[in-house]
Structure 1
Amino acid sequence: MFDIRPLTPAIGAEVAGIDLNDDLGPDAYAALTEALHTHQVLFFRGQDIDAYRQRDFAAGFGTLQQFPFGHPPAPDLPEVMVLATGDGPKQSNADIWHSDATFMARPPLGTMLRAVSLPPLGGDTLWADMESAYAALSAPMRVLLDGLTAEHDFTKSRTHRGGDPDALPVVAHPVVRTHPVTGRRCLYVNRIFTTRIVELDERENELLLPFLFDHVTRPDFQVRFGWRPGDIAFWDNRSTQHYAVYDYEAPRVMHRIVIEGDEPR
């Protein structure tokens, strides 16, 4: 059917021998979903598809979400968001390790990103495996974190400053999340949106949260992807964090789709 080629021991695989213009049947989607659960981020090189086909491909993995931030490329494509950077002052904070939209009560299951226009150099994206990050902690630290909850606040992100804080109130999620399909445990706090661990006092938060934010950036948890036009990355937002390197000045245009998730547990 197609080949799954792992890129690192921890995270990431390239899907080879697949044309996303073809109609994919249930068996193909089942195999890709299994690969996503195993490798957490999948890469599809050089796909000559448009935003409509990207939407249809993504819809095979779940209900598509009309994300509260971003602009669609066409009026009839509300599920597709255009991310355009590099042609003006930096505003996005995607160059901070994070999971998408953890400030929502039901954060996305996954995100699909397609390279539309790229700068001649730069603009790589990195992903980190939060299951490995959790497993790498000492047993006493895992015991401490299990059962704790943390608040996530969209107003902490500079991208969303000026928005209506009542539209997306602060939510609390487990510090250690259990994947709803695989049952594996992973760290679920990130530097952009997590503001505090509820059960700890201010001083304890000042000590522990920065440690966790830094811990997830270890190179052995990571895969780095250099984009080419037409490339697609599809990642499990429940068990990964990502970092978009902002080392370019020429325009960079990506199309993003998010898939509805569930309440973290």
Structure 2
Amino acid sequence: MRLVPFTAHFGAEIHDYDLTRVADDIAAANLRKLLAEKLVLVFRGQQLTPEAHVRLGHVFGTIAPRHPLYDHVPGHEPIMIIRNDKDHPPENEVWHSDLSCKAHPPAVSILHGVTLPPSGGDTLWCNMHAVHDALSQPMRQFLGGLTAVHDFQTGFAYVRDRKEERVAILDQVEREANRARHPIIKPHPRTGRPLVYVNESFTSHIHELPEHEGRPVLRMLFDMVKNATFQMRLRWEPGTVVMWDNMATQHFAVGDHYPQVREMHRVTVLPAA
């Protein structure tokens, strides 16, 4: 294995590593340790079958149930399909952490670029530890006493706005099981390092503050995520697989490839019990 840092602060590109061969406990433990340190791992030149993708997910824990609003790979329900083409425009052009609306959101996401456009379609990640560390000490103390509400309906409000057929599915999603309150500043469960845990997609409001006070605070935090200092940007190539820490990072899928086809397959892993 050869590791090349992606930025000075987080992320790494891993060379000479075959993800289909992560079979023994030592290799799996090393991969988990590396992800905890680097937060985003990029693997090029992989030949990842659906079966290998699911096995890789199990390296990190229990795979999350299928997403109600997305198709899955036939015969492989844990693998979600995210496809853009002329009839399916991009819908992830907002910074987010996958399903933060859950009481126990996914811990790890593993994304495989299956069909890539000839240009565009990059993905960005933001280091939420770095966002925390850039806050002043008084602001950290203030935010440390607050919680924010994350809501599935907020994250997928665009489905209603576009009047898509998926509105019927959205209406069937159980509200209470897909709405959660999380501390705005929380320790990472594996490392204990503090991070900011709000995102522009799912976070609806700050529980302890009225709207006119809470909204400017959220806007300040959302704007910090857009600072390139805290980010890394990936240009996809055929055979690229990326895994990331879903609590310590947020991500943003750039839609500048539209209407060219871009199809990604994703497995998400639940946090340890």
Q: Scaled by the length of structure 1, what TM-score is found?
A: 0.93
Q: Secondary structure at the match of 1:119?
A: coil
Cα–Cα, structure 1 residues 27 and 173, in superposed 2: closer, same or farther, change >3 Å?
same
Contact conserved, 2:114 with 2:264, CA < 8 A, in 1? Answer: yes
Structure 2: give runs of 5+ residues left out of the alignment. Answer: 161-166
Distance 1:160 1:60 in 2: 33
Q: Secondary structure at the match of 1:78?
A: strand
Contact conserved, 1:91 with 1:159, CA < 8 A, in 2? Answer: no
Structure 1: give runs of 5+ residues left out of the alignment. Answer: none
CA shift, 1:91, in A, is 5.4
Q: Secondary structure at the match of 2:19?
A: coil
Q: Which residue of 1 aligns with 2:6?
A: 7
Distance 2:268 2:84 in 1: 19
Q: Deviations over 1:154-209 (max 9, x none)?
A: 11123554313761322111111211110000000000110111111121112111
Q: Secondary structure at the match of 1:177?
A: strand
Verify: 1:119 aligned to 2:129, yes or no. no
Distance 2:57 2:226 in 1: 28
Q: Secondary structure at the match of 1:215?
A: helix
Among the aligned pairs, what percent are the same residue?
Answer: 37
- 1:218 aligns with one of 221, 227, 232: 227
Aligned CA RMSD, in angstroms, stands at 1.6
- 2:190 aligns with one of 177, 181, 198: 181
Q: Which has the higher helix share?
A: 2
Distance 1:123 1:255 in 2: 14
AA matched with 2:264: M
CA shift, 1:210, in A, is 0.7
Q: Which residue of 1 aligns with 2:94?
A: 96
Q: Which residue of 1 aligns with 2:163?
A: none
Distance 1:185 1:133 in 2: 10
Contact conserved, 2:22 with 2:28, CA < 8 A, in 1? Answer: no
- 2:143 aligns with one of 134, 138, 145: 145
Verify: 1:168 aligned to 2:175, yes or no. yes
Distance 2:49 2:30 in 1: 23
Cα–Cα, structure 1 residues 145 and 111, in superposed 2: closer, same or farther, change >3 Å?
same
CA shift, 1:262, in A, is 5.9
